[in-house]
C-alpha cells in the first residue's frame, strides 16, 4: 500500500485502526489455539507478555510493511499450534526480539516474567544476533554457549525454529542475496535440527521454502507436474485402497487412510542424485494407514495385525520391509513400512502407525504431552541421549566454529542402522558409520587405541563400513595412537571431534618443539628469533603459515643447516638466470589467465560494492573478472550465486553446490544474487556421462552425432565396456544448459544408448 509522504490525520488514524484490528485478531487466534490445547490456562501471563511486546515494537514495521508485532505473534502461533508448546514458550516467543528493541535487560525480564522465560529469550536473542544474524560472530565459545543452552532447555531452539519458519514464509520481501543466505542457512542447519527433533512437517516446509527461493524454476516445474499427475495418483488410490478398507472394516479397526505425496524438495533431490526426470521418480505416492488402538498398551500388536492382513491382499516387496516399532528412530519415529505390488502392477509404499505415532512423526517429542501413558512404547531418553552427545563434542576446545558446526551437523540428518555389541546390546549408528566410529561411540579410549575390529567374528580394518545387524567387537592396543588419515573414514561427529582434538594437541606440542629447535639453532649462530625471520623462512620453505613451518621443524620434516643461515644472511642470493624465473612465471600465468578471461585477481574497487546490488548481471565483461569454481563448474542456465572472498575475488557457484551451501551459512553477507546474460558468446566446458548396451556400430553412431554438432567443441571422449554394457565420459564446450540438454537428447536417440546426462 503506497502512502503519501505526509499523511493526513484521518488517513493515519484509519491505518492505525486497521493495524490494531489486524494485531488483535492475530493475538486472539493465538489465545484460541492455546486454550484448545491441554496446557494449563495462563492467559493472564501471555496477555501481559503480548502487551509488553506490542509497546516495545510500537511504530516499527517489517520490510513487508506490516506492523512488526505480527512477527512475534506468528512465531508464538507456530510454537503453540504447530509444535505444541505451552505458556512459557509462548511468552518467550512474544518477547524474543524484546531485548534488541528496548532498554530492558535480562534481569528486568526475569523480574517481570520469571527466570525461565528470561533465559529462553536470552538464548533466542543470542542465536539471532550472535551466530546466524547480520552481526554474525563466528566465535567458538559463543556457539558452544548456545549449544549448551539448547541442551539445558530445548525450548530455545524450538522457538528459534518457529522464528525461522515464519521468516521463510515471509522471505519474498527480502533482497535476493539475503534470500540465498537465509535459505542456505535453513537447509544447512535448521531443517536438519527440525528433523532430528522429529518436527517432520516443519522440516519439510523449511526444505520446500528454501528450494522455492534457491531454484524457483525447478520448484514451479515440479509443482506443475505434481498437479498434472494428480488424476493418475487418485486413480491408483481408488483401485488400491478399497480392498484394504474392506479387510480393516471386517477386523473392526478404527482407522483413516491418507495419501502421502513426496515433497517437491525430496523429488528434486532424487532427480539430481539419480540423474532422472520427474516421470522416473516412482515413490512419489505412499499410502498411510493411521489407526486408533482399542488398547494403547497393545498398539504394536495391532500394527503387526494390520500388516499381516495387508499381506493377504497384496504381495509385499521382499527387501523393503522396515520395522521402526521394535527399534524406533532416534527422533522417536515409529511405524511399519513396506512396499506392496498393486493389481495394476505398480509398487506402492504403505506406512502403518497409530494416531500417537502419527502425531510424533509430525510434531516430534512435543506430542508425548498428549500421551502420558507410562506403558506407551517410546524411550523418552532418546532426546537426552542426543543432547548428551552434543555436550560430549563440546568437551574439546574447538578453535574454529566452522569445524564445530560441521561436526554438530554430522549428528543431524542421518539414516540409521542397528548394530550389536559382543554382549548382544543394540546400538544405533548413522548409516555409513565405520568400525572406528563404533569404537568411539563406546568410549573415547577405545577409539583412540583401536587397531581394528571383528565384525560377525571376522577380522576387518578400521575403515570397514558397518551394516544393520552386524555384531562388532573392537580390538585395541596401548601402543596404537590416533593417525591423521583416520579423518578420511571417520564419519560420526564424536569420532571426528575426538580425532581432531588429539591431532590439534599433538600439533601444538610439535609447534612448541619446532619453536624451541629454531630458537636454539639461531642462538648458536648469533641470531635472535623474530617475526621477520619466521616469515622469511616460511616463504623459503613454502609453508602455508608460521604454525605449519614450526610444526614441520618440530616433526623433523625441515632440517635447519648451513644453507638456512646462508639464506637468512643473504649470501649466495645471485642465482644467475634463475632469479628471474619466479617473476617471469608469474607474468606468464597472469597473461594466460587474462587470455582465458578468468583472472584469479579481481579489482577490489570493482567488487567492494557488489553486495549492495540486488542482482548482478553476468555478461561477457563481468564473467572475465570472475572465477568459475571447479567444485560445481556452473554454466549459463544454471541457478548461480556469487561469493566475494576476503581477497576481493568474485567466485561463481551453483546454488545447489555443497560448497555454496556452506558459504551461504557461514559468510552470508558476502553472497550476491546473479543472473546470466551471455548471448551465446562464451563457451564453457561440461562433462557428460553416457551409458548403454554395447553393440557393433554404437561408437560410430556416437561419433556421427558429435560430428554433426558443429556449434560445439568436443574436447575429450572415453568409452569402456564390461559384460555387454558400455560407459563413457565426454568433455564438450557449450554455450549454456540448453545446449547440454540438446546434446543429451540427440545422444539418447541413438539405438542402445540408455542414458546421457551432465555430470
Residues 256 and 373 in one domain: yes
Domain count within the chain: 3
- Please name the helix (run of DSSP H) or strand (run of DSSP E) that holds residue 524, with its range, or none: helix 493-524
Beta carbons of 394 and 178 less than 8 angstroms apart: no
Other CB atoms within 10 A of residue 316 CB: 15
Task: Provide the pLDDT for residue 387.
Answer: 64
Q: Does residue 643 lie within any of the structural domains?
A: no
Q: Does residue 159 lie within any of the structural domains?
A: yes
Helix (H, G, I), strand (E, B) or coil at 312: helix
Q: Does residue 614 lie within any of the structural domains?
A: no
Other CB atoms within 10 A of residue 128 CB: 20
Q: Active-site residue 101, yes or no?
A: yes
Helix locations, 555-672, DSSP H: 562-568, 581-596, 604-607, 620-623, 658-666
pLDDT tens column, 592-620:
333 333 333 445 556 666 655 578 888 88
pLDDT tens column, 462-516:
999 998 888 899 998 888 888 888 988 898 878 888 888 888 888 888 888 888 8
Q: How many degrees, rounded to 5, is the angle at CA 389 between CA 384 and CA 395?
A: 125
Separation of alpha carbons 185 and 183, rounded Å: 5
| Domain CATH code at residue 333 | 3.30.460.10
Grid coordinates given for 131:
551466530
Separation of alpha carbons 280 and 323, rounded Å: 27
Q: How does the average pLDDT of the chain come out, rounded?
A: 80
Grid coordinates given for 274:
539419480
Residues 135 and 244 in one domain: no
Residues 256 and 150 in one domain: no
Helix (H, G, I), strand (E, B) or coil at 756: strand
pLDDT tens column, 691-707:
888 887 788 888 888 88
Give the closest residue to 207 by CA, choosing from 262, 288, 244: 262
- Please name the helix (run of DSSP H) or strand (run of DSSP E) that holds residue 286, with its range, or none: strand 285-292
Residues 29 and 90 in one domain: yes
Helix locations, 127-175, DSSP H: 140-152, 155-169
Q: β-pairing, 725-734 with 753-758? A: unpaired
Separation of alpha carbons 415 and 749, rounded Å: 38
Q: Does residue 677 lie within any of the structural domains?
A: no
Residues 57 and 121 in one domain: yes
Residues 169 and 27 in one domain: yes
The DSSP symbol for 272 reads H
Query: What is the mean pLDDT of each successive set of 10 residues along the chain, which is 759 residues long?
Result: 48 77 91 84 89 85 85 93 88 83 77 87 69 43 56 79 91 85 83 82 93 92 92 88 93 92 92 86 89 90 94 90 84 87 88 90 62 43 62 58 59 70 82 90 89 89 88 89 88 85 85 88 83 80 79 84 79 45 38 37 56 75 86 90 83 88 77 86 89 83 83 85 85 90 89 86
Task: Provide the pLDDT for residue 240.
Answer: 92
Residues 24 and 131 in one domain: yes
Residues 231 and 367 in one domain: yes
Task: Provide the pLDDT for residue 379.
Answer: 45
User: Where is the domain boundary, 115, 144, 173?
Assistant: 173
User: Where is the domain boundary, 379, 395, 410?
Assistant: 379
Q: Does residue 523 lie within any of the structural domains?
A: no
Beta carbons of 265 and 373 less than 8 angstroms apart: no
Q: Which residues contact 93 (CB under 8 A, 6 or more apart)?
A: 72, 75, 76, 78, 79, 85, 159, 162, 163
Residues 164 and 267 in one domain: no
Helix (H, G, I), strand (E, B) or coil at 691: strand
Handedness of CA 438, 441, 447, 450 (dihedral sign): negative
Task: Provide the pLDDT for residue 506.
Answer: 84
Residues 104 and 243 in one domain: no
Residues 265 and 368 in one domain: yes
Beta carbons of 671 and 664 less than 8 angstroms apart: yes
Separation of alpha carbons 267 and 283, rounded Å: 9
Contacts 24+ apart (CB under 8 A), 526-530: 527/565, 527/568
Catalytic residue among 32, 100, 134, 384: 100
Q: Does residue 51 lie within any of the structural domains?
A: yes
Residues 375 and 228 in one domain: yes
Catalytic residue among 20, 55, 101, 603: 101
- Please name the helix (run of DSSP H) or strand (run of DSSP E) that holds residue 305, with its range, or none: helix 299-313
Q: Does residue 679 lie within any of the structural domains?
A: no
User: Where is the domain boundary, 327, 355, 379?
Assistant: 379
| Residue reference for cell 577405545 | 446
Range 19-47 burial, b when 16+ CB lie within 10 A, else e: eeeebeebbeebeeebeebebeebeebbe
Give the closest residue to 759 by CA, choosing from 703, 716, 721, 695: 716
Residue 167: domain span: 19-173
| Domain CATH code at residue 690 | 3.30.70.260
Q: Active-site residue 470, yes or no?
A: no
Q: Does residue 408 lie within any of the structural domains?
A: no
Task: Provide the pLDDT for residue 140.
Answer: 43
Say if pTM beats, i.e. exceeds, 0.85. no
The DSSP symbol for 189 reads I
Amino acid at each position: 500500500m503506497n502512502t503519501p509522504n505526509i499523511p493526513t490525520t484521518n488517513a493515519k488514524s484509519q491505518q492505525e485502526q486497521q493495524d490494531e484490528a489486524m494485531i488483535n485478531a492475530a493475538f486472539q487466534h493465538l489465545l484460541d489455539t492455546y486454550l484448545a490445547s491441554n496446557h494449563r490456562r495462563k492467559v493472564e501471563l501471555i496477555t501481559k507478555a503480548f502487551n509488553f511486546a506490542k509497546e516495545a515494537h510500537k511504530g516499527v514495521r517489517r520490510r513487508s510493511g506490516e506492523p512488526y508485532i505480527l512477527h512475534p505473534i506468528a512465531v508464538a502461533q507456530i510454537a503453540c499450534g504447530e509444535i505444541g508448546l505451552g505458556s512459557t514458550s509462548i511468552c518467550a516467543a512474544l518477547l524474543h526480539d524484546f531485548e534488541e528493541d528496548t532498554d530492558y535487560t535480562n534481569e528486568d525480564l526475569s523480574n517481570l516474567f520469571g527466570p525461565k522465560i528470561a533465559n529462553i529469550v536470552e538464548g533466542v536473542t543470542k542465536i539471532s544476533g550472535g551466530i546466524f544474524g547480520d552481526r554474525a560472530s563466528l566465535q567458538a565459545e559463543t556457539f558452544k554457549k548456545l549449544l549448551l543452552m539448547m541442551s539445558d532447555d530445548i525450548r530455545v531452539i524450538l522457538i528459534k525454529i518457529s522464528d525461522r519458519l515464519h521468516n521463510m514464509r515471509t522471505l519474498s520481501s527480502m533482497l535476493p542475496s539475503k534470500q540465498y543466505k537465509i535459505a542456505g542457512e535453513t537447509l544447512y542447519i535448521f531443517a536438519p535440527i527440525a528433523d532430528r527433533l522429529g518436527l517432520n512437517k516443519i522440516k519439510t516446509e523449511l526444505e520446500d521454502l528454501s528450494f522455492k527461493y534457491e531454484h524457483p524454476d525447478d520448484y514451479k516445474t515440479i509443482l506443475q507436474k505434481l498437479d498434472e499427475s494428480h488424476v493418475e495418483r487418485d486413480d491408483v488410490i481408488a483401485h488400491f485402497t478399497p480392498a484394504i478398507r474392506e479387510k480393516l472394516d471386517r477386523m473392526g479397526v478404527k482407522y483413516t487412510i491418507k495419501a502421502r505425496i513426496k515433497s517437491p524438495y525430496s523429488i528434486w533431490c532424487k532427480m539430481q542424485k539419480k540423474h532422472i526426470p520427474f516421470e522416473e521418480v516412482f515413490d512419489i505416492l505412499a499410502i498411510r494407514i493411521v489407526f486408533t488402538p482399542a488398547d494403547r498398551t497393545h498398539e504394536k500388536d495391532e500394527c503387526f495385525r494390520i500388516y499381516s492382513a495387508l499381506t493377504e491382499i497384496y504381495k509385499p516387496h521382499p527387501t523393503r520391509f522396515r520395522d521402526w516399532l521394535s527399534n524406533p528412530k532416534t527422533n522417536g519415529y515409529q511405524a511399519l513400512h513396506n512396499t506392496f505390488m498393486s493389481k495394476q502392477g505398480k509398487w506402492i509404499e504403505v506406512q502403518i502407525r497409530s494416531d500417537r505415532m502419527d502425531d510424533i512423526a509430525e510434531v516430534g517429542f512435543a506430542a508425548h504431552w498428549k500421551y502420558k501413558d507410562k506403558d506407551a512404547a517410546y524411550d523418552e531418553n532418546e532426546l537426552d541421549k542426543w543432547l548428551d552427545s552434543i555436550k560430549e563434542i563440546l568437551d574439546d576446545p574447538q578453535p574454529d566454529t566452522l569445524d564445530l558446526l560441521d561436526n554438530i551437523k554430522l549428528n543431524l540428518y542421518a539414516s540409521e542402522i542397528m548394530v550389536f555389541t559382543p554382549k548382544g546390546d543394540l546400538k544405533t549408528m548413522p548409516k555409513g558409520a565405520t568400525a572406528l566410529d563404533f569404537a568411539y561411540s563406546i568410549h573415547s579410549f577405545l577409539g583412540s587405541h583401536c587397531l581394528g575390529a571383528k565384525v560377525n567374528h571376522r577380522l576387518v580394518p578400521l575403515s570397514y563400513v558397518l551394516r544393520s545387524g552386524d555384531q562388532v567387537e573392537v580390538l585395541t592396543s596401548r601402543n596404537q595412537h590416533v593417525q591423521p588419515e583416520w579423518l578420511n573414514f571417520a564419519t560420526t561427529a564424536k569420532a571426528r571431534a575426538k580425532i581432531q582434538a588429539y591431532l590439534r594437541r599433538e600439533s601444538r606440542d610439535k609447534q612448541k618443539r619446532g619453536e624451541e629447535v629454531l630458537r636454539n639453532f639461531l642462538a648458536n649462530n648469533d641470531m635472535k628469533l623474530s617475526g621477520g625471520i619466521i616469515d622469511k623462512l616460511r616463504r623459503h620453505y613454502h609453508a602455508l603459515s608460521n604454525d605449519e613451518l614450526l610444526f614441520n621443524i618440530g616433526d623433523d620434516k625441515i632440517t635447519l643447516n648451513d644453507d638456512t643461515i646462508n639464506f637468512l644472511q643473504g649470501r649466495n642470493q645471485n642465482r644467475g638466470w634463475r632469479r628471474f624465473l619466479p617473476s617471469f612465471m608469474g607474468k606468464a600465468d597472469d597473461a594466460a589467465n587474462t587470455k582465458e578471461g578468468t583472472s584469479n585477481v579481481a579489482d577490489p574497487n570493482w567488487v567492494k560494492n557488489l553486495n549492495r546490488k540486488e542482482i548482478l548481471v553476468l555478461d561477457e565483461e563481468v564473467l572475465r573478472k570472475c572465477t568459475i569454481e571447479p567444485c560445481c563448474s556452473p554454466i549459463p542456465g544454471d541457478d548461480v550465486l556469487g561469493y566475494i572472498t576476503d581477497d576481493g575475488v568474485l567466485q561463481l557457484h551453483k546454488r545447489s553446490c555443497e560448497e555454496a551451501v556452506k558459504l551461504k551459512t557461514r559468510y552470508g553477507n558476502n553472497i550476491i544474487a546473479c543472473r546470466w546474460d551471455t548471448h551465446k558468446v562464451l563457451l564453457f566446458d561440461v562433462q557428460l556421462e553416457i551409458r548403454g548396451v554395447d553393440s557393433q556400430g554404437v561408437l560410430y553412431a556416437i561419433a556421427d552425432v558429435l560430428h554433426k554438432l558443429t556449434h560445439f567443441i568436443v574436447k575429450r571422449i572415453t568409452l569402456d565396456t564390461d559384460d555387454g554394457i558400455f560407459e563413457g565420459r565426454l568433455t564438450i564446450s557449450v554455450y549454456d544448459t540448453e545446449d547440454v540438454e540438446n546434446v543429451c537428447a540427440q545422444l539418447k536417440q541413438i539405438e542402445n544408448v540408455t542414458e546421457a546426462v551432465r555430470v
